[in-house]
Amino acid sequence: MVFFFLSGKFDQLQHAEPLSAIKTAFNQYFFNISKSDDERINTTRSSILETAGDCVGVLTACFPGLENIIGGHCTNPTQVGLEETQHRFEYAFRSMVKAIATPSNPVVLFLDDLHWADAYSLHLLTVLATDAYSLHLLTVLATDREIKNFLFIGCLRDDEVGISHPLAVTLRGIQNRHTVVTKITVANIDREEINALISETFHFPASITISLTDIVYQKTKGNALCITQFLQSLHDGGLLQWSSVSNSWEIQIQSIEAEYVPDDAVRMFKSKILQLPVKTQLALKLMSCVGSSCSEYTLLLFLEEKITINIEEEGMANRTDKRGQRSEMLLFLIVAVHEGLVKKEGTNYHFVHDQVQHAAYLLIPKEEKHLWHLRVGYNIWLNVPEKDEDKVIFIAVDQMNHGMSLIESEDKKIRLAKLNLRAGVKAMSLSTFSSCASYFLGCHQLSQKTKK
């Protein structure tokens, strides 16, 4: 038996992009399957085609990685009305999940930061949960009765979800359909657990590590993220050193007690980022503009060494070639990977925690944030080959929309209005109508600001 663990993360800065975390999770799954042996690829292909039938074609626009599995077996779906388009997509999605979750290969889907999920993602999770057996929250959801061997786990922040929040409404709706919801509260780590962690890590009896534990608890208040970062900083600073002479760890308690620790994780990460090379800082700040994660392909489209203050200097129609410069910037991002701030999984890079992203984003001056978003969006659209435009349309338009107030040129407003229209049409083809409305509204707002 081989378990598949699929994961994705919703993001405050990618809120308009439909199904962002779900797409990340399943596209990574299909990427991994495509790298497997022929037997697994053929089995997955046959199962999906048999279960989803002719409807499988509606999934490839949302999950391009699926094309690597089913290849030429995919047919273009016939055009139908909006309501039927949505129903067909939901049927195909449920069929796909049913096909890949088998007794020999159970699937766990973990989605982080559900409180930032777009409306259609919440709807799609409701579809999966229809007549479900159970739902757990950290949150966990066992899915519809026809889908076996599949478990959904979602994570959210209680302080972000009020009674009228869309996620709270969604969860009440799921419970009203007789689905059991189990909530798991993840609290800070207590002193005893920290001592067990330190004792096991440094191979000392718990009675010996209690003095270090007291300091760690006092300075971190039991925050798991702060604990790991604090211990790492002590090691980096030479206050926790392995001695080849004594064949054990040497812990400088008095120096550790005097060590300054920022009073929250964000300040801690800001301090760490500012110690990195300037170009690594720049790469992190640019990446923070697009959210918690980004594909290497997209990173290579927008990474560059400077942000042009006069955004009218470059048009939106001129393609550029800065591959060498962007590749160099990607190397500086690898420094952040080695420092444990960013993680590379397959073809994707992601911040190890949203507090790291927040710290990098805060390093951009407040008055320049709209400019940075606009430049990132411009760079993505300027550098993407025409054949790949649909792959980045949402992220490019979202970024440019963040900075639309800075656009003065009538031509550029018109171009961005057309791009919003195009993004809206694509969102509609994916049945993500709330996102579709957001892009159409952007198109309308920009059109109202032009004289043409």
Residue 437 lies in a domain: no
**Per the domain annotation, does 425 fall within a domain?**
no
User: What pLDDT is attached to residue 309?
Assistant: 43
What percentage of residues in the chain have a pLDDT greater than 70?
87
pLDDT tens for 137-163 read: 555 444 455 677 888 899 998 888 888
pLDDT at position 310 over 50: no
Tokens of 96: 């796909």
Give the closest residue to 380 by CA, choosing from 323, 299, 294.
299
333 and 354 inside one domain: yes
Same domain for 156 and 34, yes or no, is: yes
> What is the rounded CA–CA span in Å between residue 237 and residue 260?
12
207 assigned to some structural domain = yes
pLDDT in tens, 71-109: 766 666 666 667 777 888 888 898 899 899 888 889 999
- If asked whether residues 209 and 320 sit together in one domain, one would say no
Q: Share the mean pLDDT of the chain.
A: 84
Of 165, 183, 201, which residue sits at a domain end?
Answer: 183
Do 210 and 316 belong to one domain? no
Predicted pLDDT of residue 236: 85
Question: 342: which strand partners?
Answer: 351
342 three-class SS: strand
In-domain check, residue 71? yes
Final residue of a domain: which of 162, 183, 204? Answer: 183
Q: What percent of the chain has pLDDT over 90?
A: 34
| Candidate from 41-55, 158-172, 302-316, 390-404 with smallest mean pLDDT | 302-316
Q: Is 225 found in the same domain as 114? A: no
| Position 73 in a domain | yes
Q: Are residues 201 and 174 in the same domain?
A: no
- Residue 346 domain-assigned (yes or no): yes
The verdict on residue 423 lying in a domain is no
pLDDT reported for residue 307: 53
**What is the reported pLDDT for 191?**
94
- Residue 109 lies in domain: 4-183
pTM of the model as a whole:
0.74
Same domain, 164 and 224: no
My answer on whether 251 and 364 are in the same domain is no
431 in a structural domain: no
* Number of domains within the chain: 3
* Mean pLDDT (whole number) for 339-367: 90
Helix (H) / strand (E) element for 180: namely strand 180-183
Query: How much is the average pLDDT of 322-327?
Result: 58
Same domain, 132 and 174: yes
pLDDT at 308 over 70: no
DSSP 8-state code for residue 388: G
C-alpha span between 286 and 295 (Å, rounded): 13
Q: Residue 237 has what pLDDT?
A: 85
Q: Are residues 99 and 176 in the same domain?
A: yes
pLDDT value, residue 376: 94
At 286 the pLDDT is 94
Check whether 341 has a pLDDT greater than 60: yes
Q: Given this model, what pLDDT does residue 369 score?
A: 94
Q: What number of CA atoms fall less than 13 Å from residue 423's CA on the CB side?
A: 30
The 10s digit of each residue's pLDDT in 217-275 is: 998 889 888 898 889 888 888 898 898 888 888 889 989 888 777 767 888 899 899 99
For position 323, what pLDDT does the model report? 52
Q: Are residues 234 and 174 in the same domain?
A: no
What number is the average pLDDT over the span 32-36? 88
Q: pLDDT tier at 136 (50, 70, 90 boundaries)?
A: very low
Q: Are residues 118 and 8 in the same domain?
A: yes
Q: Which residue has the higher pLDDT, 309 or 26?
A: 26
According to the model, what pLDDT value does residue 76 have? 62
With b meaning 16 or more CB within 10 Å and e meaning fewer, what string describes 148-172? ebbbbbbbbeeeebeeeebbeebbe
For the segment 380-402, what is each residue's pLDDT rounded down to a tens digit? 999 999 998 988 999 999 999 99
Residue 311 has pLDDT above 50, yes or no: no
- pLDDT given for residue 133 in this prediction: 42
With 0-12 / 13-18 / 19 or more C-beta atoms within 10 angstroms meaning exposed / middle / buried, residue 69 is buried
Last residue of a domain, one of 158, 183, 208: 183
